[in-house]
Amino acid sequence: MAGRAQIPQKNSALVAMIADEDTIVGFLLAGVGNVDLRRKTNYLIVDSKTTVKQIEDAFKEFTAREDIAVIMISQYVANMIRFLVDSYNKAIPAILEIPSKDHPYDPTHDSILSRVKYLFSAESVASGRR
């Protein structure tokens, strides 16, 4: 199928995480964590000492890696780098904004949800359905 993004055909693809410690620990206990031969992890724990630059660098690194298929990012962290999240337009790795224990999910700030709403409204206008 032309135009579709293809996941590289390797043995596995990773899920990357950028979130608070409690969220990361929960996913690590579920088996999501990975450390490669260069001692690079597939997660970034964001706390009060984490700078926006570190979050930006991790986001850029995770989106550039070919072994990552999904990036889960806490919505409040995504809000810190909203310009990067909103400007990201590739299908893989997919960006998924998730809630955290201390910060509830707000659908008005979710860039993926807003894109989906826009596409469905554009399709309904183009097809004459409303």
Cβ burial, residue 25 (10 Å; 0-12/13-18/19+): middle
Report DSSP state, residue 124: H
In the chain, what are the domains?
Answer: 14-127 (3.40.50.10580)
Longest C-alpha distance within the chain, in Å? 54
Whether pLDDT at 120 is above 80: no
Mean of the pLDDT values across residues 11-19? 83
Average confidence (pLDDT) over 19-30: 89
72-108 per-position pLDDT tens digit: 999 889 888 988 888 888 878 888 888 887 877 776 6
Q: What digits encode the pLDDT tens for the residues 52-61?
A: 999 999 999 9
Residue partners of 107: CB distance under 8 A and separation at least 6:
113
